[in-house]
Amino acid sequence: MAAIRLIGVTKTYGQVRANDDVHLTVEAGSVHGLLGENGAGKSTLMKILFGMTRPDAGSVEVDGVPVRLRSSADAVTAGIGMVQQHFSLVESYTVTENLVLGRSPGGPLRRLTHRLDLDGAAQQVTEMSDRFGFRIDPHARVSTLAVGARQRVEILKALWSGTRILILDEPTAALAPPEAAELFTVLRRLRDDGTTIILISHKMPEVFDLCDRVSVLRDGRVVGHRDLGPAHADESARRRLEAELVRLMIGRDQPERPHRPGEPGEPVLVARNLGGGRLHPTDLTVHAGEILGVAGVEGNGQTELVELLVGVRRADSGTIELDGHDVTRTGPGVRLRHGLAHIAEDRHTAAVAERMSIAANTALGFTDTPPLARGRWWLSAKRTARLADALIRRHAVRAGTTSDPVTSLSGGNQQKLVVGRELARAPRLMLAVQPTRGLDVGAAGAVHEALLALRDAGAGVLLVSLDLTEVMSVSDRIIVLSGGRIVGETPARDADPDLLGIWMTGARPTEAAA
């Protein structure tokens, strides 16, 4: 019997069709995989299923009955639970307190006067934990738990509120292999107990380990379903299926290659044994006239790498040499002066100051030196405005006056402005992190062209992106980060998307690489 049926689900955001006539059936008591690249439409689909957004067209059936999911509460009532990538747990609370929070008995008066029975609840948690192998201490504070344990708490929380259909969004994105193994044990036991599980992922091994069936999404459409039954028995069948799925995910069309190969010169960035946070000690070199693409699934050490290179995170180990200067112990200011530019991953937190004007935001990092500053005591407003005007024109930003607040621009236009500002530094090394996020195709192309021009002018570029197509079409050389380590390196011109996909997803590279 089908636990879930999606019929012709369509959802459009502005110009983008996030979901396009999606049909999907999930059998009760099975683990169903949903594969796809970043931006393929998986998350939108699951948000619809969990009542967080409403589809423009199409319908949802649960256990054969059409349901209307107007809110998450509706979904919970229908027995659907979701564990998102960003947990919604109260960190300072214990596991039990987090579970009890969502399901409290009685009205306001009872809540005020009756003693909270945390011990009884803890007992229940222990029972449930033992039954499915969660291995969670009900009295542990969430803040003391590792990511994997927190995730199991989220699953417990979903089950606690009566979930029969469990959606997991990239559950292993931030897990170390042993934690992932623990998670899988739990999930298998849940399935054997009758829980239906939908697993969103782009990691091949876990899909093969867990799923009974898998659907592949690309550009908002379902491009194929496969039963994984045969693959579990036969190793060669599994290999074939793996390759087939990777192709379905990424698309048959080979991404465009850079038409002009770069001419790598001297190194502009040399990181030796550099480590911190999730990033294990790593060696990395970017040459002048080269674009080094960093591919990988989110949360595999990219953020740490970028923060270490910008200088806002202290290195646990290693050294950083920027254009011949040892900058390991310096802050962002010094690195800026030695020729670093940075297109930040999260624009809101690290690239713009939202209450300030467009002009002020374009002037960031230029205000201490000529031509904007004339000595320590004069900052030219005219030149600041001119700089903003120039960048707006050069990068086709749709903006009013430069004295308008930067928030008067759309997200895409803010991004163009940030890219323009960082390019204007004429950097020796450009750290471009997701530089085309939120841009339409034309604008994204312009950013890529600009990065290529920068490279041709003799700068080094480190391009960190979750979008494999972007990495392949712009880079000269590609490295893949997985689990905080560089797991593979290849010249872009020889890069095989299947191989990159396998590296990124952590599949065994041995024979496939050959």
155-184 residues near other proteins, rule: CB under 8 A:
none
Q: Which of 339, 435, 488, 501 binds other proteins (CB under 8 A)?
A: 339
CB of 102 to other proteins, least distance (A): 4
Among residues 7 and 364, whose Cβ is nearest to other proteins? 364
Instruction: Indicate whether 83 belongs to the interface with other proteins (CB under 8 A).
Output: no
Instruction: Indicate whether 336 belongs to the interface with other proteins (CB under 8 A).
Output: yes
Stretches 8-16, 31-39, 132-140, 355-363: which one binds other proteins (CB under 8 A)?
355-363
CB of 425 to other proteins, least distance (A): 6
CB of 105 to other proteins, least distance (A): 8
CB of 91 to other proteins, least distance (A): 7
Restricting to residues 378-397, which ones interact with other proteins according to CB under 8 A?
A: 378-379, 381, 383, 386-387, 389-391, 393-394
**Cβ atoms of residues 172 and 144 within 8 Å:** no
Among residues 265 and 400, whose Cβ is nearest to other proteins? 400
CB of 338 to other proteins, least distance (A): 8
CA distances from 394 to 391, 413, 447 (A): 5, 12, 11
Among residues 348 and 508, whose Cβ is nearest to other proteins? 348
Instruction: Indicate whether 377 belongs to the interface with other proteins (CB under 8 A).
Output: yes
Among residues 208 and 366, whose Cβ is nearest to other proteins? 366
Stretches 62-70, 95-103, 226-234, 274-282: which one binds other proteins (CB under 8 A)?
95-103
Restricting to residues 10-29, which ones interact with other proteins according to CB under 8 A?
A: none
**Cβ atoms of residues 302 and 326 within 8 Å:** no
Per-residue burial over 54-78, b if 16 or more Cβ lie within 10 Å, else e, is ebeebebebbeeebebeeeeebbeb
CB of 396 to other proteins, least distance (A): 15
Site track for other proteins across 96-125, x = CB under 8 A: -xx-xxx-xxx-x-xxxxxxx---------
- Three-class SS of 209-273: HHCCEEEEEECCEEEEEEECHHHHHCHHHHHHHHHHHHHHHHCCCCCCCCCCCCCCCCEEEEEEE
Whether cis (ω within 30° of 0) applies to the bond prior to 371 is yes
CB neighbour class for 93 (10 Å; exposed up to 12, middle 13-18, buried from 19): middle
Stretches 221-229, 267-275, 287-295, 338-346: which one binds other proteins (CB under 8 A)?
338-346
Among residues 112 and 514, whose Cβ is nearest to other proteins? 112
Name the phi and psi angles at 459, rounded to 5: -95, 160
Stretches 170-178, 211-219, 281-289, 375-383: which one binds other proteins (CB under 8 A)?
375-383
Q: How many residues does the chain have?
A: 514
> What are the CB-based long-range contacts (under 8 Å, 24+) for 118-123?
118/94, 121/96, 122/96
Among residues 88 and 254, whose Cβ is nearest to other proteins? 88
Among residues 329 and 493, whose Cβ is nearest to other proteins? 329
Instruction: Indicate whether 453 belongs to the interface with other proteins (CB under 8 A).
Output: no
Restricting to residues 40-79, which ones interact with other proteins according to CB under 8 A?
A: 72-73
Among residues 89 and 187, whose Cβ is nearest to other proteins? 89
Stretches 88-96, 166-174, 175-183, 494-502: which one binds other proteins (CB under 8 A)?
88-96
**Cβ atoms of residues 70 and 76 within 8 Å:** no
Residue that is written with structure tokens 């595999």 in the block:
300
Q: Which of 401, 445, 453, 456 binds other proteins (CB under 8 A)?
A: 401
H-type helices in 311-398, by residue range? 332-337, 347-350, 358-363, 381-394
- The token pair at 444 is 């994204």
How far, in Å, CA of 185 to CA of 189, rounded?
6
Among residues 191 and 394, whose Cβ is nearest to other proteins? 394
Number of residues binding to other proteins, judged by CB under 8 A? 78
Among residues 101 and 146, whose Cβ is nearest to other proteins? 101
How far, in Å, CA of 283 to CA of 290, rounded?
17
Restricting to residues 413-452, which ones interact with other proteins according to CB under 8 A?
A: 424-427
How far, in Å, CA of 165 to CA of 197, rounded?
6
Instruction: Indicate whether 365 belongs to the interface with other proteins (CB under 8 A).
Output: yes
Instruction: Indicate whether 140 belongs to the interface with other proteins (CB under 8 A).
Output: no
Angle subtended at Cα 121 by Cα 130 and Cα 127, rounded to the nearest 5 degrees: 15
Q: Which of 176, 373, 487, 512 binds other proteins (CB under 8 A)?
A: 373
User: How many Cβ atoms sit within 10 Å of the Cβ of residue 381?
Assistant: 12
| Residue 501, CA atoms < 13 Å, CB-side half-sphere | 24
Among residues 180 and 343, whose Cβ is nearest to other proteins? 343
- The token pair at 332 is 């962002």
**Cβ atoms of residues 305 and 358 within 8 Å:** no
Instruction: Indicate whether 342 belongs to the interface with other proteins (CB under 8 A).
Output: yes
**Cβ atoms of residues 359 and 383 within 8 Å:** no
Among residues 247 and 337, whose Cβ is nearest to other proteins? 337
CB of 305 to other proteins, least distance (A): 15
